[in-house]
Amino acid sequence: MAVVPDTAPQRPPARRRLILSTKIVVSVALLAVLVTRSDAPRLWSYVRSASLPWLAGALGLYLLMVLASAWRWGLLLDAQGVQVPARRLTQSFLVATFFNNFLPSNIGGDVIRVADTARDARSRTLAATVVLMDRGIGLLGLVLLAAVAATIARSGGLEGPVPSSALWFGFAAATIISAPAVLAPGGVERLLRPIRRVHPEWIGARLEQLTQVLARFRAAPGAIFGCFAGAILVQALLVGFYAAVAHSIGVPVSPWHMAVVVPMSFLVQMLPISVNGFGLREATFSFYFTRLGLPIEAALVVSLLGAGLVMLFSLSGAAVYVSRGT
């Protein structure tokens, strides 16, 4: 099947500018509130005390996270009979990381990943479905890791502000909602059938293809479970990344608590109301740290320093993008 170009309607320029302006205002306002509630000398003392070897270690963990993410993506593509070299997937993920960090939207990277595999898949719908499946499984792994960490912290007398029961409920609910997509692909097609009225031929063809893609996933449970295990590994590496950043400035926070606040911050950043999560991420860290008795300055530095390292690392994706000559 030939690759079908994306013909989705674009938002009018004025509306895009309004949305971007609103996101900027939200991010700046949240950061301003948090900074005004903190002590500037203490903030600076944390920044000056940062250990370069620990920050370098954090970057190493982030590189491992990228490699694990590309491997997970490859498992799902293999389940669809799409063979893409691991090197290309890694390079694509690096470029996607760059776009996620330097465009005012977290979906820019997904567009890159779909575009980079659509030709091999011979279908943009298939490539997009694989990326969405990867995202969904990643979210399940994220919530599961947070639930396990919160449970362990609680059993050790280190209960945090997010109840483990709420996280377990969220994981169970997400699993129950998402499982039918793989276990009963035909049900998904029937559920979405009413939207055929918008464009019967175009949407009908894609619903049929979506059903086929989901059916192939159902026939490859090893790929699904492997991707899920990879999702937990990816989240654990991200927790290790932020734990290394916290250790670099001497913040005494339990790794179990980091394994709760880091996934929670990623969930909060999914709200499309800020620029790349700025402000929302720092507010999440501040909320959690202060309820553990840690200073708000520590939360801000860990969050912003971590974000800065990620942006620095993502410049490698810009180099890959430029080397493509596109």
pLDDT tens profile 151-206: 998 887 777 788 899 999 999 999 998 888 888 877 776 777 777 777 777 777 77
What six digits make up the tokens of 107?
């979906």
pLDDT of residue 161: 85
- Between these two residues, 4 and 95, which has the higher pLDDT value? 95
CA distance 191 to 49: 55
CA distance 258 to 238: 10
Q: What SS3 state is found at 156?
A: coil
CA distance 65 to 70: 9
pLDDT at 250 over 60: yes
What six digits make up the tokens of 261?
């606040």
Chain position carrying tokens 């008795």: 293
DSSP assignment letter at 194:
G
Range with the lowest mean pLDDT among 30-44, 102-116, 158-172? 102-116
Q: Judge contact between 1 and 259, C-beta under 8 A.
A: no
pLDDT at 3 over 50: no
DSSP assignment letter at 105:
S
Q: Judge contact between 269 and 281, C-beta under 8 A.
A: yes
Query: Dihedral sign, CA of 205, 122, 68, 51?
Result: negative
User: Which tens digit of pLDDT belongs to each residue from 263-306?
Assistant: 999 999 988 888 888 999 999 999 999 999 999 999 999 999 99
Q: Judge contact between 243 and 102, C-beta under 8 A.
A: no
Domain coordinates of the chain in residue numbers? 39-321
Q: What SS3 state is found at 197?
A: helix
The amino acid sitting at 99 is: F
What is the chain's mean pLDDT, rounded? Answer: 89
pLDDT at 320 over 80: yes
User: Considering just the CA atoms, what is the radius of gyration of the chain in Å?
Assistant: 21
Ramachandran area for residue 133 (φ above 0: left; ψ -120 to 50: alpha; else beta): alpha
Q: Judge contact between 278 and 146, C-beta under 8 A.
A: no
- Nearest Cα residue to 213 out of 34, 81, 27: 81
Residue ranges in the chain assigned as alpha helix (H): 13-36, 40-48, 52-79, 86-102, 108-121, 124-155, 164-183, 185-192, 200-218, 221-248, 255-269, 280-291, 296-323
CB atoms near residue 50 (< 10 Å): 14
pLDDT at 4 over 60: no
